[in-house]
Structure 1
Amino acid sequence: MRHRRRSRVLGRSPSHRKALLKNLASAIFLTERDAELDANKPKIKGRIVTTLHKAKEVRSLVEKTITIAKKALIAQEAAREHGTTADRQSDAWKTWRKSDKWQKWAAAMAPVVNARRRCIQMLGDKQAVKLLFSEVAPRFKDRNGGYTRVLRLAKPRLGDAGIRGILEFTGVRDRKVQKSEKPAFESA
């Protein structure tokens, strides 16, 4: 019986499985980077191809990190109100630092810093977290979940005939349902 068994084992030890899921989750965020000069650039942004079971398992991790980043965006907007555009260690920055606005800014930025640290812990890649907070989370600001989709590929993997699947972000290549037009019958 598999009572209260939450996740798939994927034929790995717990530490290996955790590392695999971290790498897959950070890989989907790293496909969003601008990698024109990169030798190993992604073919399509926001999409990775892996086995179907791995894609289904990593989906929850990706969606959790996006939700954390979305909640941090609200705090980041509140912090901008109290922030400054002065250069660091300049006279204007030093007076802002001594003022009451700095404490309000620091209190508003605390949840953002906490969210970034949680995402770094979950993903294990600082560049992926940077892309998550700058590009991916603002894209899903108005969406309440369902940030990714898993598609099954018909063609199995060549070495071991494993079932392959695609994990991709929603909203980019969505199918648009169009209503067909009524035919216009001409009267003869």
Structure 2
Amino acid sequence: MPTPKKGPRLASSPAHERLMLANMATSLFKHGRIVTTLPKAKRLRPLAERLITFAKRGDLHSRRRVMRVIRDKSVVHKLFTEIAEQMEQREGGYTRIVKIAPRKGDSAAQAIIELVTEPVSAKQAVVKEAEAATKVAAKEEAPAEAEAAPAAEEAATEE
């Protein structure tokens, strides 16, 4: 069968690429960071973020979907208990890619892909909380103003 011409591939076949990405994802969740080539890191990021999103859900179906990709049960357990707990406040952007010096032998572009372990900045959390508070206050003021308007009209008609 001829190889398909559409879309770039990292390996010789789609199956090999899936296995390679699964192995890299397993290593990423086991160690927290891995050094690889830049194209591989860019292809790994969406897969890793999708797996973390499944882990944040935490139900049995999500665990089984993650087990399709990551075959190591201890890594899946770590993903669902430790990593998902760290990423609970984060709405996305669970990984970070940092470019480093090219590889010595073939001068291939290298990158570090790592899990973002820093907590979500306090400033963003405060801004979201303030926006929510203003929405609640606006909803509470609207009925109060509606009640105050007829009372003001009655007072004006009495005078």
Band of TM-score, shorter chain: 0.5 to 0.7
* Partner SS state of residue 145, structure 1: coil
Q: Comparing both chains, which one has the higher relative contact order based on Cα–Cα distances under 8 Å and sequence gaps of 6 or more?
A: 1
Residues 43-68 of structure 1, C-alpha deviation per residue, up to 9 Å, x if partnerless? xxx11100001001001111001001
Counterpart CA distance in 2 for 1:167 and 1:128 is 17
Gaps of 5+ in 1: 32-45, 73-111, 175-188
C-alpha distance 145-54 of structure 1, shift in aligned 2 (>3 A): same
Match of 1:115 among 36, 40, 62: 62
Counterpart CA distance in 2 for 1:9 and 1:47 is 23
TM-score w.r.t. length of structure 1: 0.57
Structure number, greater radius of gyration: 2
Counterpart CA distance in 1 for 2:52 and 2:21 is 15
- Percent sequence identity over aligned pairs: 41
Counterpart CA distance in 1 for 2:98 and 2:22 is 20
TM-score w.r.t. length of structure 2: 0.67
Kindly tell me the number of residue pairs found equivalent between the two proteins: 117
**Could you tell me how far 1:157 is from its partner in structure 2?**
0.9
C-alpha RMSD over aligned residues: 2.3
Counterpart CA distance in 1 for 2:82 and 2:6 is 31
Counterpart CA distance in 2 for 1:161 and 1:57 is 20
**Could you tell me how far 1:124 is from its partner in structure 2?**
2.4
Residues 140-167 of structure 1, C-alpha deviation per residue, up to 9 Å, x if partnerless? 10110100011111x2112211100010
The equivalent residue for 1:129 is 76
Gaps of 5+ in 2: 121-159
